[in-house]
Amino acid sequence: MDFNTSMAVAASGLRAQTERMKTIAENIANANSASATPGADPYRRQIPTVTTNFDREMNANLVAAGKPVADQTDFRQQYDPGNPQADAKGYVKMPNVNSLIEIMDMREAQRSYEADLSVMDATKTMMSRTVDLLKK
């Protein structure tokens, strides 16, 4: 694998992880938001997706962020009889977002992002050393 291909693969990973972190951040931001109107569904958790594409020119697999998919798990029920969105039993539908899971997913995406940065740094260092050897 040449230097350009290595940089392109790492850059595609950086872009994919950035989009993944944006989706996770949106989930965290809406973790406790109830619906705006009574009886309506609240925010539904989005699951980030990643697709793989083979680039024939570079002869390498590149990744890209796919369209987030709605998580179809049930909404949480929170007892709050004074809330205008509460049902007859006093329960309010809350988003199906578990903040702990989102934070773990964010940490995983962050570590993947850091790994891609390390690849880019290592490639840059190798390119620099190659140029230095060619100068001699």
Query: DSSP states of 58-86 as a string?
Result: TTEEEEEE---EE--SPPEEEE-TTSTT-
Give the other-Cβ count within 10 Å of 132's Cβ. 9
Whether residue 88 is predicted with pLDDT greater than 90 in this model: the reply is no
The pLDDT value given to residue 1: 66
Between β-strands 46-47 and 50-55, what pairing exists: parallel, antiparallel or unpaired? unpaired
Q: Which residues pair with 55 in a beta bridge?
A: 60
Q: Domain tally for the chain?
A: 1
Map residue 136 onto helix, strand or coil. coil
Q: Which residue has the tokens 């989706």?
A: 23
User: Which percentage of the chain shows pLDDT scores above 70?
Assistant: 99
Rounded Cα–Cα distance for residues 50 and 65 (Å):
5
Which residue range is the domain that position 71 belongs to?
3-135
pTM for this predicted structure: 0.86
Query: Once rounded to an integer, what is the mean pLDDT over residues 4-15?
Result: 93
